[in-house]
Amino acid sequence: MVKKIALEEHFLSPGYEDYWWPTVGGVDTKVAGNLLARLTDFGEMRLQAMDQAGIARAVLSIAGPGVQSQADAAIALRHARESNDFLAREIQKRPDRYSGFAHLPMQDPRGAADELERCMRALKFSGAMINGHTNGQYLDHPSLHSFWERAEALGAPIYIHPTDPVSLAPVLEGYNGLRRATWEWGFETGSHALRLVFSGLFDRFPRAKVVLGHLGETLPFLLWRFDSRAKLYGVKLGKQPSEYIKQNILVTTSGMCSAEPLNCTIAALGHERVMFGADYPFEVAKEAGEFLDHVALSDTLRADIAVNNAVRHFGSALA
């Protein structure tokens, strides 16, 4: 069993259940109840799951949209600060095992930037996790340029996590088994990341760092086509789309325990851009850990994905 740093590990702050419950609509109530118990636990259940997977450190982040579904920006800012302070207190109880991602009120670009800076400097968090669009606004919106300027200056990685789309795609009507984690979220989140690329955001902020779970939400498999179609449609960027994906986007293994997509992602992006994530408690941490322990990789490459790349991109505090 190799030592691991896990980068997509979820929790809920007190009072955040109402934000989260809609994301498990259609899930068996007993399953949802078990998830809630694990999301709100920072002790025996979580630590046991980490130990079984070989996870030495988990970087914790809010599950579900959190305050990003809040209509009132002032309430969103207040609740985000409360949640980040709560997480900081939990980390202080086990600084050897836990780190944190900031939860941000993206309705308020300046407030989000200020809260990101507070979390990075005062609370010693490792970046931020943003749960997709915020009430229909994506992260390429020009009003958020001041946020990206601050994130770039702080060297703060921004992890984009899936969320429900603004509206259900007609092609999925009548097929609930294809919604959310099966297919819908991957398309939604990959499209979100492509908006950043094709909008020219990384020309404006060339040192910005974005993280995607699930081995890049299918983007590593389509690099050639993005470049080819960008030329066809006359997309004006400083580089080819694939270059931004290789230079500005990092990925984790969360929710992907399969050698074929892992090998493709390594070949497409370079092994130094691939890191470990278990996606606890929505995936079984032990399964994710055993996958990385046993998949056919060199010992050096396995150690880089398990620990070294996270330290390289997020800082030595994770070591």
Active site members:
279
Smallest Cα–Cα separation from 74: which of 103, 108, 118, 117? 108
Q: 217: which 2 tokens?
A: 């939400």
Which residue type occupies 296? A
Residue tagged 């946020």 (tokens): 147
Q: Judge contact between 226 and 232, C-beta under 8 A.
A: no
Q: What is the DSSP letter of 308?
A: I
Q: Judge contact between 77 and 105, C-beta under 8 A.
A: yes
Distance CA 48, CA 39 (A): 14
- Maximum alpha-carbon separation in the chain: 55
Q: Judge contact between 21 and 312, C-beta under 8 A.
A: no
SS3 call for 250: strand
Sheet holding 55-62, edge to edge: 4-11, 55-62, 98-100
Q: What is the DSSP letter of 177?
A: G
Other Cβ atoms closer than 10 A to 203:
13
Q: 274: which 2 tokens?
A: 């691939």
Q: 1: which 2 tokens?
A: 């069993």
